[in-house]
Structure 1
Amino acid sequence: MNKQFDASLHASPSRSQFSPAPCVGLHCSGADGSQWRTLFARMSDETKTIAPDLIGTLSRGHKIPDGPFTLEHEAASIITEIEKFGRPAHLIGHSYGGALALHIARARPDLVRSLCLYEPTLFSLLKAGELTDGLLYSEIVSLTNAIRTGIEEGCEEFSAQVFTDFWGGLGSWQALSRERRCAMIDWVHKAPSDFDALLKEPDPEYILSEGVPSTIIRGSQTHVHTKRIAEILATQGKLVELKVLKGAGHLGPFTFKESFEMEVLSHIGTVDRRYMASMEI
């Protein structure tokens, strides 16, 4: 199905008021809204979709925040876009985008039909957890400091490589094309801000809104940090389901794209059917 996208918002054309619930895609750190292009292409032509480029991306001039940065800052413009739908939307997120979706759902549950998230990196959940979780939290703090120090010393390529190899595995940086490595070097100035927001999100133990149907997906071969976050989130509400994508790591939405997208479509279909059934009662 061919859809047209705005260059910076990656939005499909407007649909009828009787159309399915709209969908919002929130990308991971280092990517942009085009991450969701193939997923949205699988959806009905009547489904309104947007995939905004988050702060720090090329379309937004690689501008980075001045001073302390939070998920609230990132969420502000996205909430404005969702409000334009005039109805709740499905939020789909990966990594940083998944944590951002959780923040939006807590701040404005009236705007959210459901959540389908792949390994949301809400690291503050680890700080609020058990002793072993605190050790995992400290490891992410150390990672953040290493990336920040590299940038401060003018070694952006080092910082980009540290970030890439952490999430993709050792050797991932060298496997990237020259063009992609340059793009990551241009973006990496935003990485410390993203990590700061994820590490400091307040009251994470209450992040999932009780009434929002949610599917949390993790890879079977992922980091212990994101595996633990997914496990914690799965205990936060009666409407939360945890799924495991076999063979996938943290970058599963890229490396196991079709399997991941089928899980998302299944989630949306199930939620919408239940919603329509409830409207008929």
Structure 2
Amino acid sequence: MRSFHSTSFAAPAQPFFREAGTGPGVVCFHANASTSGQWRALMEHLAPRFHVLAPDSYDAGQGPRWPSDRVISLRDEVALIEPVLGKAGASLAMVGHSYGAALALVATLAQPGRVGALALYEPTLFSLIDAQQSAPNDADGIRHTVADAAAALDAGNEDAAAEHFIDYWMGTGAWRQTPGQRKPPIAASVKNVRRWAHALFTEPTPLQAFRSLDVPVLYLLGKRSPPSAHAVARLLTAALPHVEVVEFAQLGHMGPLTHPEVVNPVIGEFLARHLR
């Protein structure tokens, strides 16, 4: 597996990405508080058949720092990874988890003709929930979590901020059970929680736009995920015209990281059917 910086295309910054395999292109987008490294097992699984690329988003892993005080949008993230999409070829698939799945949807709407298939694990487009029903609604849990994490950051407590964020997505006590060596990079990444929330809660794409996506979509979700993830799933699975839904009874929102041996074969089988 190769990892390097792209220099072939002009972009707002130089995207870092991992690369493996040959064949039709597959681009994988990671979740918040994560990096492209979360896809190592999937890349190994897909590499015998596909050319797999996994970029780091802004302020993640070896990705570039967000260069200004301006708030970030999903379209800014799409602009960053455009060189990686170009390297993947004319007809590619996208795989995304959480924030990365939201990014994959926005990128597909920008140029739908280049995408042959989408595999999404719980895209977090919370703007769709708020557009359907103003607060209080099913997005309140993550809204309050962001507020609590932001307050902890303002008090100088990155560990507490990470605990709020990770425990929301993985269950109470998850942060305390996280191995010590894994905590520092996660806690450091959570400093961007306000930016993530802004991008996801203010994304302007209306639900109606997703009805136009004439592309096969695999929509994966965990039965144990929080209400915000399930609320987005109800809206998107009703809107996407060619959607196949798989719910994992024993998994939660972080299923691609906690149980890749369960999730990855489902993604691989879907891509084998739809990407040639």
Q: Choose 160-169 or 143-152, whichever is displaced more.
A: 143-152
Q: Does 1:217 align with 2:230?
A: no
Separation in structure 1 between the aligned mates of residue 61 and residue 179 of structure 2, nearest angstrom: 17
Identify which of 75, 78, 81 aligns with 2:78: 75
Pairwise mapping of residues 18-97 of structure 1 onto structure 2 (< 5 A)? 19=23, 21-60=24-63, 63=66, 66-97=69-100
In percent, how many aligned pairs have the same letter? 26
Separation in structure 2 between the aligned mates of residue 245 and residue 85 of structure 1, nearest angstrom: 29
Partners of 2:30 and 2:38 within 8 A in 1? yes
Question: Which blocks of at least 5 consecutive residues in structure 2 are unaligned?
Answer: 6-15
Q: Choose 37-46 or 119-128, whichever is displaced more.
A: 37-46
Q: Choose 51-60 or 78-87, whichever is displaced more.
A: 78-87
Separation in structure 1 between the aligned mates of residue 112 and residue 64 of structure 2, nearest angstrom: 31
Secondary structure of 1:41's aligned partner: helix
Q: Choose 26-35 or 64-73, whichever is displaced more.
A: 64-73
Secondary structure of 1:50's aligned partner: strand
Q: Does 1:206 align with 2:208?
A: yes
CA shift, 1:204, in A, is: 3.2
Separation in structure 1 between the aligned mates of residue 68 and residue 109 of structure 2, nearest angstrom: 23
CA shift, 1:130, in A, is: 4.0
Separation in structure 2 between the aligned mates of residue 195 and residue 235 of structure 1, nearest angstrom: 24
Partners of 1:119 and 1:216 within 8 A in 2? yes
Q: Does 1:263 align with 2:245?
A: no
Pairwise mapping of residues 1-281 of structure 1 onto structure 2 (< 5 A)? 3-6=1-4, 8-12=16-20, 15=22, 19=23, 21-60=24-63, 63=66, 66-130=69-133, 134-208=136-210, 209-272=212-275
Give the match for residue 279 of structure 1: none
CA RMSD of aligned residues (A): 2.0
Partners of 2:28 and 2:94 within 8 A in 1? yes
Partners of 2:109 and 2:213 within 8 A in 1? no
Change (3 A) 1:189 1:34: same
Change (3 A) 1:64 1:145: farther
> Alpha-carbon deviations, 1:238-263, whole Å to 9, x = none?
21121101210111112221110011
Q: What amino acid sits opposite 1:5 in the alignment?
A: S
CA shift, 1:207, in A, is: 4.5
Report the TM-score, using the length of structure 1 for normalisation.
0.87
Secondary structure of 1:222's aligned partner: coil
Separation in structure 2 between the aligned mates of residue 65 and residue 251 of structure 1, nearest angstrom: 30
> Alpha-carbon deviations, 1:162-217, whole Å to 9, x = none?
11111111111111111211111211111211111011111330342421111111
Separation in structure 2 between the aligned mates of residue 42 and residue 137 of structure 1, nearest angstrom: 34
Question: Which blocks of at least 5 consecutive residues in structure 1 are unaligned?
Answer: 277-281
4+ runs deviating over 4 angstroms: 61-65
Separation in structure 2 between the aligned mates of residue 229 and residue 65 of structure 1, nearest angstrom: 30
Secondary structure of 1:11's aligned partner: strand
Q: What amino acid sits opposite 1:108 in the alignment?
A: Q
Separation in structure 2 between the aligned mates of residue 240 and residue 58 of structure 1, nearest angstrom: 31
CA shift, 1:156, in A, is: 1.4
Partners of 2:148 and 2:161 within 8 A in 1? yes
Report the TM-score, using the length of structure 2 for normalisation.
0.89
Partners of 1:26 and 1:101 within 8 A in 2? yes
CA shift, 1:103, in A, is: 0.8
Separation in structure 1 between the aligned mates of residue 101 and residue 53 of structure 2, nearest angstrom: 15
Secondary structure of 1:59's aligned partner: coil
Separation in structure 1 between the aligned mates of residue 184 and residue 41 of structure 2, nearest angstrom: 24
Residue-pair matches, total: 265
Q: What amino acid sits opposite 2:19 in the alignment?
A: A
CA shift, 1:148, in A, is: 1.7
